[in-house]
């Protein structure tokens, strides 16, 4: 399993519930279509955080790198209805930072893999 980890700040914090609903509509659709395995939305509690921690955290689970590649490929061919769901959610976001994580330790035990 791989976690696509997204740290999100909204354009307006008073739209937090609208954002949660939009994330559910978008990522719930991707899960129902089996494009992703699962997802979860988390919000910082009591404003407690340090440094670069944002107000929202989204974790998107994919089984493998090939599933992630398939998901990005399918997303590049979105229909209008799907594009509207995505854009509605995305237009609420002021900034986003992403990372790809894996459970650790894992069988590969590789910190870096490269051809060159």
Domain segments of the chain: what residues? 2-101
Q: What is the pLDDT of residue 92?
A: 97
- Output the pTM of the full model: 0.85
- The pLDDT, as a whole number, for residue 116 is 66
Query: What beta strand segments (E) does 1-116 contain?
Result: 2-10, 38-43, 56-62, 93-101
CATH class (in words) of the domain with range 2-101: alpha beta
Give the single-character DSSP code of 14: G
All residue ranges of the chain with pLDDT < 70 are 110-116
pLDDT at residue number 90:
94
pLDDT for the residue 73: 86
- At 91-114, the pLDDT tens digits run 999 999 999 998 888 777 766 666
């Amino acid at each position: 399993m791989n976690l696509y980890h997204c740290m999100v700040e909204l354009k307006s914090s008073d739209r937090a519930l609208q954002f949660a609903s939009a994330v559910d509509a978008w990522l719930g659709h991707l899960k129902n279509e089996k494009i992703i395995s699962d997802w979860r939305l988390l919000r910082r509690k009591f404003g407690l955080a340090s440094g670069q921690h944002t107000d929202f955290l989204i974790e998107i689970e994919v089984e493998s790198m090939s599933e992630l590649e398939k998901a990005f490929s399918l997303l590049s061919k979105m229909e209008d209805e799907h594009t509207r769901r995505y854009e509605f959610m995305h237009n609420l976001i002021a900034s986003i930072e992403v990372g790809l994580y894996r459970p650790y330790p894992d069988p590969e035990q590789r910190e870096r893999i490269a051809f060159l």
